[in-house]
Amino acid sequence: MESQRNVSEFILLGLSSDKNIQIFCFVLFLFCYISLLVGNLLILVSILSSIFFHQPMYYFLSHLASLDICYTSSVTPKLIGDLLLGTKSISFGNCMLQVFTIHFFGSIEIFILTAMALDRYVAICKPLHYMIIMNRTRCNLLVLAAWVGGAAHSLPQLFMAILLPFCGPNEIDHYFCDIFPLLKVACTDTHNTGILVLVNSGMLVLATFVLLFGSYVIILSSLRNHSAEGRRKALSTCGSHITVVVLCFAPAIFVYLRPPTTFPEDKIFALFYTIIAPMFNPLTYTLRNTEMKNAMRKVWCQGYFQKKLTINW
């Protein structure tokens, strides 16, 4: 494939050309982004400031909160700025950077969710060996594997996007740069590239979803041997994980696991895994988790009273 282009920037058509809808979307997504930042930062600081950081589940949760911020920040600030200013252009370099970051942080998040499912499986199905299996060294290796896997997934996506020849059309019917919308404006036959993207992204999402779904089926089936209190705690924890998995994976499967084409609905489904799911992650992991709520209350109440005592002194 020839790597030639005379396009220096792209025009993102966004979600709608209607001014009223743009104003509504600006207010909505600004609120969502601020809520996401505040919620994930609260979780991150609370975990880092408490003894829970040394527990595998919360160790992975702190990484998930960090990735939510990085992942959404690669798309949402640009979207909010475009809705506010009305300028929807993006340079070629920034477009390629967006392709890389959205797949890099997104795939790492998928692998972290898989590590969290493994942690829950060991905690519920092999409780006596939990601390031996999920020691800090193994947790660090799982996180390292997630970052390596993210790079292995996103770099081919980036190279495929860079090698596409763009020689005229530069309007992308999306609110961020992704590989399928870019294939639509490339001036070459992109069928083979689309198949590679389907194998790279679509099969990754599907395989991970099947793995996660299977692990939670095994976990839930094993709860019959637990006490009522144990079942309640396990269902509360696993319920939050399953909610996150469904919000993240169902739209991604619709977008990536199909022949290379684009639909107007893609933008709506993309909102779920780029903005909505990361925004609900803090609520999902705190409102359904008594330990997390107690840790946040302890950290922030202590900080408040210490500050008040310092001021009075």
1/3 Cα distance (integer angstroms): 6
CB neighbour class for 144 (10 Å; exposed up to 12, middle 13-18, buried from 19)? exposed
CATH code (residue 266): 1.20.1070.10
pTM: 0.85
Under a CB-based contact definition with an 8 Å cutoff, are residues 119 and 165 in contact? no
Question: Within a domain: residue 4?
Answer: no
Per-residue pLDDT tens listing for the chain (313 residues): 445 567 788 888 888 888 888 889 899 999 999 999 988 888 888 888 777 778 888 889 889 989 999 999 999 999 998 888 877 888 999 999 999 999 999 999 999 988 988 888 888 888 888 888 889 899 999 999 999 999 999 999 999 889 888 887 788 888 898 888 888 888 888 888 888 888 888 888 888 888 888 887 887 777 776 666 666 766 666 676 777 778 788 888 888 887 767 677 788 888 888 888 888 877 777 665 666 666 666 666 655 444 443 444 4
> Residue 237: its pLDDT value, please?
65
Strand 89-91, strand 9-12: pairing: antiparallel
Question: Within a domain: residue 257?
Answer: yes
Owning domain of residue 235 = 19-306
What is the count of structural domains for the chain? 1
Question: Within a domain: residue 13?
Answer: no
CB neighbour class for 204 (10 Å; exposed up to 12, middle 13-18, buried from 19)? buried
Residue in the block written with tokens 């092999």: 126
Question: Within a domain: residue 55?
Answer: yes
Q: What is the CA radius of gyration of the chain?
A: 21
Question: Within a domain: residue 292?
Answer: yes
Q: Which of 100, 118, 73, 102 is nearest to 208 (CA)?
A: 118
Question: Within a domain: residue 1?
Answer: no
Question: Within a domain: residue 10?
Answer: no
> Residue 312: its pLDDT value, please?
41
